[in-house]
Chains A and B, each alone.
Chain A
Amino acid sequence: MSETGKIDIDYVAKLARIALSEEEKAKFSDQLGSILGYVEKLEELDTEGVEATAHPYPMENVWQEDVVSSELPVEGALRNAPKQRQNMIVVPKVVE
């Protein structure tokens, strides 16, 4: 695992798309350092040849008939949009 359990907080915050304040960065770095220190006990566990569990019970593909059954009207889908116009969500301009 990592050498010291130290997180590159700027990099991870960027990946997570959260603008952290300087105080949050300092606080989280410390706290996450100690949480990761605790988590490192997993290292001592021998997991050679053990299958990973993604799900409590073995899952197989679940197939269904492809039938149109959507009950959500456009107004319902859009009612919580922060900004909307003519049945569309208004977003900030991102291209010149």
Chain B
Amino acid sequence: MSEELYYKSARELSGLLKAGEVSAVELTQSIIGRTKAVEERVGAFNSYDEGDAVSQAEASDQRRAAGETVGALDGIPVGIKDVLAVKDQPLTCSSKMLENFISPYDATCIQKLKQSGAVLWGRLNMDEFAMGSSTENSATHPTSNPWNLNCVPGGSSGGSAAAVAAGEAVLTLGSDTGGSIRQPASYCGVVGLKPTYGRVSRFGLAAFASSLDQVGPMARSVEDAALLLQAISGHDLRDSTSFRAEVPDFSKSFESLKGKKWKLGLPKEYFEKALDSAAMEPVQQAIDFYRELGCEIKEVSLPHTEYAVAVYYIIATAEASSNLARYDGIRYTHRAENFDPKDSVDVYNQSRAEGFGEEVKRRIILGTYALSSGYYDAYFLKAQKARTLIRQDFEKAYEEVDALLTPTSPSPAFEKGAKMEDPLSMYLSDIYTISANLAGIPGMSLPCGYSDGMPVGLQILGKPFREEEMLAIGQVFEDAHDFKNQHPEL
């Protein structure tokens, strides 16, 4: 049994731990062993600290022995995207800029995970500062897709998705600014959920675009994603944009929604252009599944969809150019050795030139341009107004339907290097996911089939602060299929 512990669900493992059939140390050792066996091929991690993980697991076992177990995640290894602060662990954002950075404090979601007893496991690779859709923009190394090592795992949370798919973690945390949880989840055949903006505190998440960023769970099943979402959700005094409301018991409330005949919308603008895409067949079959279940399937219109990518790349880069100004070479980052001492700002210019990779520079330049005098109204303000129209499209659609079904990505995972020289085509691979960030609504991707052997994701977009509905919709599909038990051959 032990050799497959690493592919069991958090729910099942929680039961085994409770029954004393397995210890947290055994489970953690199984994850460590699996990681060592496949990591050379997958490359999901920037670093991991075995000793630290084992001592967390020992503490969990001691709590259990003393009858002081703190929750369903107690003793479960959870991998962490290298964008979240874990006290005394590295936080690199896969950037040379932060190559030596050690977090002096915990992010709020990390603090909550610690309170839930989870074993925090490793630092997962990503596109530098979460900017990218393939994890090729990492300063450390590209991560491979466990289903085909020549393909990208998606991004920016590519390490988080690959680790879950490869059994190198039971659960992982990712972050999603324009699809960075959902798109890699679809590429790697796992479940990824971006919560409603404000559901999860952003304190301790290295900021990319503050009005779009959310932390969320990645898992091999809907139920496990719900467990992890539960642990990290809730209002936080240290994030003024976090939502002041009670968090529902996701697992309970989505169980009670099972069997509901939902009204599900198909945004026609998402399907018009996607008809010939290889990713569409499994998505169409998933839609048929809901129809046969007795759900009302209805075409809806999100008329401003065609502007979403343009709006996103103005707003996200503008916010990034401002947020990343903090990496100045002075206080806690890489500092250049060689600069012109006669020019008081050259130490910034040189440190940033050395510390940032190409995509990060490109986006800072674009965002700086969009905010610069003379262009602010034409680009940034215009994009913010268009964002209002995109948000209103969803409000109107949700008057008619409970949730929307769409493909997660226009295509399955592509080969490494295929889009690196064409940033615009890389940006367009986010076309189905970015609107959710602009509108602030929750979205999830779950596996719904394969195209040429590569996983395809179904995206469910839900109403704001109704993640349990979205989870319930995903769960009925998952229950009727076997995708959660299908793993890549490694």
| Interface residues of A, Cβ cutoff 8 Å to B | 1-2, 7, 9, 11-13, 15-21, 24, 28, 31-32, 34-35, 38-39, 41-43, 45, 47, 50-57, 59, 62, 64, 71-72, 76-77, 79-83, 89, 91-94
Contacts and interface: CB of A to CB of B under 8 A. Distances in A.
Contacts of A77: 104
Contact of A12 (B310, B313, B329, B369): B369
B198 A89 contact: no
Nearest to B384: A52
Interface of B: 100-102, 104-105, 197-198, 211, 237, 240-241, 243, 304, 306-307, 309-311, 313-314, 321, 325, 328-335, 339, 341, 344-350, 352-353, 356, 358, 361-362, 364-366, 368-369, 372, 375, 378-379, 381-389, 391, 423-424, 427, 438-441, 464
Contacts, number: 161
Contacts of B381: 52
Contacts of B356: 18
B105 A50 contact: no
A69 B433 CA distance: 38
Contact of A15 (B101, B372, B386): B372
A81 B306 CA distance: 45
25 contacts: A1-B379, A12-B369, A17-B328, A17-B349, A17-B352, A18-B353, A19-B349, A21-B353, A28-B361, A35-B366, A38-B424, A41-B307, A52-B385, A52-B387, A53-B385, A54-B384, A55-B211, A55-B241, A56-B198, A57-B198, A80-B332, A81-B332, A82-B329, A89-B331, A92-B339
Contacts of B311: 42
A76 B105 contact: yes
Given A45-B307, A56-B391, A16 B341 contact: no
B438 to A, nearest CB: 8
> Which interface residue of A9, A12, A64 has the most chain B CB atoms within 10 A?
A12
A47 B385 contact: yes
A61 B364 CA distance: 29
A16 B368 contact: yes
